[in-house]
């Protein structure tokens, strides 16, 4: 996608040094577009841990590149396995990270150590390219859903879509998952408006989704996380589309904390609740999302404090709570499959169920 007319992906090989990769520092959005150059696995691991780079598909791509860079200095078996576990352990909920590292290891284990670095670079680049193609296909499939909703409406009528967190192009290598259909609809002239949940505590909606949509010229309104149910009760939401960090083979969906409450409100108000994902987000080994998906617990300081820019243009972090109060910060929740209208994948849309997923991915039966 473009920033000020210049096309970017969210991760790329440095044009100055082929042994380094570049990412955006997402902790600086929307106030600055800072590009970071990462030269080794430690820098990549730190960028994932501190959420300079984030979003399920993107941390998979970053992990793959982190492993590739590690093989330049030590391509031996022991070092490769150690680097792989270190990178895979940086964030627990998004299965894309583990998936990408496993795919890299499967490719690289049979390769001679001296050939591993180049083989790893090629595989990491392929993971990135495939992510772009999958998300573009998700965009087309999700746009078909939007067209279905619009079929029975007067032409030009606005469609209101609510989304949570950031599942846009900067959460993937390009296009995004939940936002890909919205970009395609907007580009085709559909009158689309997006309700953007601010997404406390880190505010990925307010800071990232709003920034992306604004750069692409998509009309949007940021709302407090608790406003969605009210808007649904008043007929102001036609459709919810969110991304996900892990989907079980039975269709349970882990996504940013607060997604479950939106799904409950959507069910109560007959608002379709769709989840967009590349197949790299499906964990075919688990069935019960609530029991089996590990939920990342992040620092309490993300709840007790908030960061932003003051009126003088100075970036500040301020405390919100009394000093003695405790804070807890589970970063994701699980929406059970029965609350999900359906899944939008690169192979098409399906019910959030084992049958639904297997109808699109029969090789997994
Ligand atoms: O903690 P984050 O910002 O990495 O969480 C991101 C999300 O929850 C996204 O909705 C999810 O990764 C889907 S990204 C296309």
Ligand 1 contact via 331 beta carbon (within 6 Å): yes
**172 CA to middle of ligand 1, Å?**
9
**278 CA to middle of ligand 1, Å?**
13
Ligand 1 contact via 172 beta carbon (within 6 Å): yes
Ligand 1 contact via 142 beta carbon (within 6 Å): no
**112 CA to middle of ligand 1, Å?**
36
Q: By the 8 A CB rule, do 191 and 238 touch?
A: no
Question: Alpha-carbon distance 321 to 274, whole Å?
Answer: 35
Please tell me the predicted confidence (pLDDT) of residue 152.
87
Task: Tell me the pLDDT of the chain (365 aa) as tens digits.
Answer: 999 899 999 999 999 999 999 999 999 999 999 999 999 999 999 999 999 999 999 999 999 999 999 999 999 999 999 999 999 999 999 999 999 999 999 999 999 999 999 999 999 999 999 999 999 999 999 999 999 999 989 989 999 999 999 999 999 999 999 999 999 999 999 999 999 999 999 999 999 999 999 999 999 999 999 999 999 999 999 999 999 999 999 999 999 999 999 999 999 999 999 999 999 999 999 999 999 999 999 999 999 999 999 999 999 999 999 999 999 999 999 999 999 999 999 999 999 999 999 999 999 99
Report the nearest atom of ligand 1 relative to the CA of 204: 3
**246 CA to middle of ligand 1, Å?**
10
Question: Alpha-carbon distance 251 to 235, whole Å?
Answer: 27
pLDDT tens-digit readout, 250-277:
999 999 999 999 999 999 999 999 999 9
Q: What is the CA radius of gyration of the chain?
A: 20
The three-state secondary structure class of 283 is: strand
Ligand 1 contact via 57 beta carbon (within 6 Å): yes
Ligand 1 contact via 165 beta carbon (within 6 Å): yes
Phi, psi of 198 (to 5 degrees): -60, -35
Whose C-alpha lies nearest to ligand 1, atom 11?
Answer: 244
Pick the closest to residue 181 from 247, 238, 137, 130 (CA basis).
137
Ligand 1 contact via 243 beta carbon (within 6 Å): yes
**157 CA to middle of ligand 1, Å?**
30
pLDDT tens-digit readout, 86-123:
999 999 999 999 999 999 999 999 999 999 999 999 99
**343 CA to middle of ligand 1, Å?**
16
Please list the active-site residues.
245
- How would you classify the pairing of strands 159-163 and 239-242? parallel
128 CB-near residues (< 8 Å, 6+ apart): 9, 11, 61, 64, 173
Q: How many helices (H) and strands (E) does the chain have?
A: 13, 18
Q: Does pTM top 0.95 for this prediction?
A: yes
Angstrom distances, CA of residue 309 to CA of 31, 32, 233, 306, 313:
8, 11, 34, 10, 6
Whose C-alpha lies nearest to ligand 1, atom 15?
Answer: 167
Whose C-alpha lies nearest to ligand 1, atom 2?
Answer: 55
Ligand 1 contact via 341 beta carbon (within 6 Å): no
Place of tokens 């000093």: 323
Whose C-alpha lies nearest to ligand 1, atom 4?
Answer: 55
Ligand 1 contact via 257 beta carbon (within 6 Å): no
The token duo for 19 is 């042994």
**151 CA to middle of ligand 1, Å?**
31
State the SS3 of 141-176.
HHHHHHHHHHHCCCCCCCEEEEECCCCCHHHCCCCC
Please tell me the predicted confidence (pLDDT) of residue 3.
92
Which residue among 10, 49, 55, 241 has the greatest number of ligand 1 atoms within 8 angstroms of its CB, and so is best to mutate?
55
Question: Alpha-carbon distance 317 to 32, whole Å?
Answer: 16
Identify the helix (H) or strand (E) that includes residue 13. strand 11-13
Ligand 1 contact via 209 beta carbon (within 6 Å): no
């Amino acid at each position: 996608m473009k920033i000020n007319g210049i096309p970017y992906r969210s991760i790329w090989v440095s044009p100055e040094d082929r042994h380094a990769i570049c990412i955006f520092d997402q902790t600086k959005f929307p106030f600055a577009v800072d590009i970071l150059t990462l030269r080794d696995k430690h820098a990549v691991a730190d960028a994932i841990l501190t959420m300079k780079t984030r979003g399920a598909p993107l941390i998979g791509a970053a992990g793959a590149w982190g492993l590739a860079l590690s093989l330049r200095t030590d391509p031996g078996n022991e070092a490769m396995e150690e680097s792989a576990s270190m990178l895979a352990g940086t964030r627990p909920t998004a299965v894309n990270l583990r998936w990408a590292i496993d795919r890299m290891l499967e490719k690289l284990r049979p390769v001679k150590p001296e050939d591993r670095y180049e083989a790893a670079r090629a595989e990491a680049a392929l993971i990135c390219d495939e992510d772009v193609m999958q998300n573009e296909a998700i965009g087309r499939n999700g746009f078909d859903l939007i067209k279905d909703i619009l079929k029975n409406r007067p032409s030009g009528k606005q469609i209101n879509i609510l989304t949570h967190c950031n599942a846009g192009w900067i959460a993937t290598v390009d296009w995004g998952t939940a936002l890909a259909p919205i970009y395609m609809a907007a580009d085709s002239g559909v009158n689309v408006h997006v309700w953007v949940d601010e997404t406390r505590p880190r505010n990925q909606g307010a800071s990232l989704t709003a920034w992306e949509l604004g750069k692409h010229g998509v009309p949007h309104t940021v709302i407090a996380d608790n406003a969605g149910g009210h808007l649904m009760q008043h007929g102001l939401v036609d459709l919810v589309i969110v991304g996900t960090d892990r989907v079980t083979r039975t269709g349970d969906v882990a996504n940013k904390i607060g997604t479950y409450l939106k799904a409950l409100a959507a069910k109560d108000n007959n608002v379709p609740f769709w989840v967009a994902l590349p197949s790299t987000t499906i964990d075919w080994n688990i069935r019960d999302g609530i029991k089996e998906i590990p939920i990342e617990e992040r620092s309490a300081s993300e709840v007790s404090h908030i960061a932003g820019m003051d009126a003088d243009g100075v970036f500040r972090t301020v405390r919100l709570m009394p000093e003695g109060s405790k804070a807890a910060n589970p970063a994701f929740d699980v929406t059970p499959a029965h609350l999900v209208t359906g899944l939008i994948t690169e192979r098409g849309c399906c019910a959030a169920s084992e049958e639904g997923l297997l109808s699109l991915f029969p090789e997994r039966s």
